[in-house]
Structures are given as structure tokens and as C-alpha cells.
Amino acid sequence: MKTKMSFSQKVWAYVKGNPIVIMMAFISIIVGCFIDNFFSADNLNVLMGNTTIRFIIALGVSGCLITKGTDLSAGRQAALAATLTGVMVQRADYASRLFPWMPEMNMWVALLIVLVIGAIIGTITGLIVSRLNVPPFIATLGIQTIVYGINLIYTNAQPIGGQSQQFKDFFNWKILAIGSFKGFSGFILFAVLFGAFFWFLYNKTTHGKYMYAIGGNESAAEVSGVNVQARKTLIYMTAGIMYAFAGFLMTGKSGGASASMGVSYELEAIAGCTIGGVSTTGGIGTVSGILVGVLVFELLKIILQFIGADPNFNYIVQGLVVITAVAMDIRKYVKKK
């Protein structure tokens, strides 16, 4: 029988289990005390906007990680969705339209199309992993390269601009405007909606139960009657849909799109998941933890900007955080064994 932990014991257990989160919170307080505007509403708006897109991608990646897989194609898939969205919602009178013969589409029709394409790519990835038994690392690396090539060919490696007024107005929508503060970007509400949906999916559905079972012990799950191949395919299909939606948001947030968007987003998503407690050894992970992990990773980038660090130095720090987070996760797993 387990002994019920007191509040202080729970806090101490969290501190011991999440040192990167605690360290970043401590650094944030120090930076905020010495640098003006760090704790401003505008900076919070930037943090929340960046976190929304990364969180949506991380939710897609999380299912792959929980089942002991991964997805290195996330960033390129999001970029493909971004350019497809950009092309479909280009104004009819825009002089540099990529495809002059294409009519200006309603943004919601464009979203539906990119979600379907994302689902198709995700399903193909899932079938390669589950049916052909290609290791997820290799399968998704191959898909990443293919998707990037397709994106470069059809856009002719050109940036996509000239989005419709309907599309711009939607992404100019603000919430919680107070006084001189113009408000937060309205699209951050998607983070709340998707977070709630995935919490329900992971905790209250048979699919979530089977997903954790596969991650814990795939052979045992299969013996107990779980259709592992179908579940893995569904997980990668869901991930493809999430990347597509993130790409749609990327176009609106950036005011345009290009094939070069989304570089290393998959690594940031994996890092955010790992920092937030999703185990690379499978079977462990929570939606709240993923959100915290992504927030911490985005906060790290903002801190480096505020202290005036060389932008190229960011990659070194982010790489070190990724390695540290995964190493600590493996260490926890070894201790449990």
C-alpha cells in the first residue's frame, strides 16, 4: 500500500524530478529583476504565441515518443502545410501569385485541405513504421527529406506572400486587451483547445490506454489483444494532422510562408516533451508536462535574446538542453530498473 505524500513531499519530488524546469524558473526571475520589460505583457504575448505553435507540434510528437518512436519530419511537414496554406489563401489580385490560375480560397477550406494532406502523410509514415517495421528514426528521416523536396519543387524555393484579408483579419484578432495593451493573439486559444482534447484522448479513451500499454511493453500489449499496427498508424496520422494545423498557424503568425520554415521544430518538440516528462523509453508522459516543457524551451530562447547572446549561440545552448534532458530521462529509467 502506497503512503500518501504530503504537499511538501510532492513539491520536493517535483523539484528533484524536474531540475531543468526549476533552473529555468530561477534564471527567469533573475533576468526579470535586472532587465526591463522581461515581465511585460508584450513579452508574454510573444512567449505564448511561440509556445502555441510548438505545443501543437509537441502534442503530435508525444504520441510517437510514448510508443517508443519518434518523428523527425514534424518541422518539414509543418512547413509544407504553411506553404500550401499560403498559396491557397493568396489574394486573387496579388501580382506575384505562385499559381495565377488558382482562385483565392476561403481560409477554412484551405485549412481542411492541409489537414487532409497532413493526415495522408502521417498515415503513410505510420504504415511504414508499423507494417514495414522500419525504425521510426529512419522512416521519419526519409519522410522529412521527401516532404522538403516536394515543398522546394512546388514553391520553386520562393517565399509565399499576399495572403487574403480574411486570413489576415483572423490572425489580427486579439483577446484580453487591457488599457494600452492591445491584447494577446487570439490564436493562442488553440493551445487550450488542443491541450484539453489531448488530455481527454490520453486519459479517458481506449486509444490512450492502448498507447501507454504499447509504450510500456509492446509485446504484452499485442498478446492482450491490442492491434499495435493500427494504433501506431493512428498515432502517426494524428501527428500529421497536428503538424498541418501548426503550419496553418505559422503562415498566419508570420504573414507569409516558405519551404525553409520549421527547421529544427521537431527537435524542439522532442526536447519540450522530454523536459516535460515524456520518457524516450516509452509509456510515460502527460499533456500538462508537455506544455511546461515547451514553455521552458521557448523561455530559454527569449532569455538568450534579452541578455544579448549571439543568435548562433542559441543552437549550442538548445542542443545542450536536449542532450541533458534525454540523459536525465535515461538515468531515471535505469534507476527504476
- CA–CA gap between residue 80 and residue 85 (Å, rounded): 8
Q: Where are the beta strands (DSSP E) in the chain?
A: 174-175, 184-185
Average pLDDT over residues 319-334: 78
Residue 176 has phi, psi (to 5 degrees) of 60, 40
By the 10 Å C-beta count (0-12 exposed, 13-18 middle, 19+ buried), 34 is classed as exposed
- CA–CA gap between residue 140 and residue 71 (Å, rounded): 5
Of all residues in the chain, the percent with pLDDT exceeding 70 is 97
How remote is the C-alpha of 224 from its chain's centroid? 32
**What are the cell numbers at 229?**
499496427
- What are residue 216's DSSP bridge partners? none
Could you tell me if 108 and 88 are in contact, meaning their C-beta atoms sit under 8 angstroms apart? no
Average pLDDT over residues 278-284: 88
pLDDT higher for 178 or 52?
A: 52
Question: Quick one: which of 29, 329, 34, 45 has its CA closest to 186?
Answer: 45
Q: What is the pLDDT of residues 11-20, one digit of tens each?
A: 777 777 777 7
Q: Is the predicted pLDDT of residue 270 greater than 70, yes or no? A: yes
At 1 the pLDDT is 45
Torsion sign across C-alpha atoms 307, 312, 316, 318:
positive
Could you tell me if 133 and 252 are in contact, meaning their C-beta atoms sit under 8 angstroms apart? no
221: left (phi over 0), alpha (psi -120 to 50) or beta: alpha
Average pLDDT over residues 234-256: 96
- Type of residue numbered 178: I
Q: Is the predicted pLDDT of residue 108 greater than 50, yes or no? A: yes
- Type of residue numbered 147: V
How remote is the C-alpha of 160 from its chain's centroid? 23
Could you tell me if 139 and 74 are in contact, meaning their C-beta atoms sit under 8 angstroms apart? no
Q: Is the predicted pLDDT of residue 6 greater than 60, yes or no? A: yes
Of all residues in the chain, the percent with pLDDT exceeding 90 is 59
Q: Is the predicted pLDDT of residue 55 greater than 60, yes or no? A: yes
Element (H, E) at 106: none
Average pLDDT over residues 162-185: 86
Banded model confidence at residue 335, pLDDT cuts 50, 70, 90: low
**What are the cell numbers at 232?**
501506431
Residue 332 has phi, psi (to 5 degrees) of -60, -40
Torsion sign across C-alpha atoms 244, 250, 255, 260:
negative
Average pLDDT over residues 202-210: 96
pLDDT higher for 167 or 319?
A: 167
Average pLDDT over residues 99-111: 92
In sequence order, what are the residues at sequence separation of 6 or more whose Cβ sits closer than 8 angstroms to the Cβ of residue 225? none
Q: Is the predicted pLDDT of residue 49 greater than 70, yes or no? A: yes
Collapsing DSSP to helix, strand or coil, 90 comes out as strand
Whether the pTM exceeds 0.85: the reply is yes
Q: What is the pLDDT of residues 118-133, one digit of tens each?
A: 999 999 999 999 999 9
Banded model confidence at residue 314, pLDDT cuts 50, 70, 90: confident
How remote is the C-alpha of 181 from its chain's centroid? 28
- CA–CA gap between residue 110 and residue 16 (Å, rounded): 46
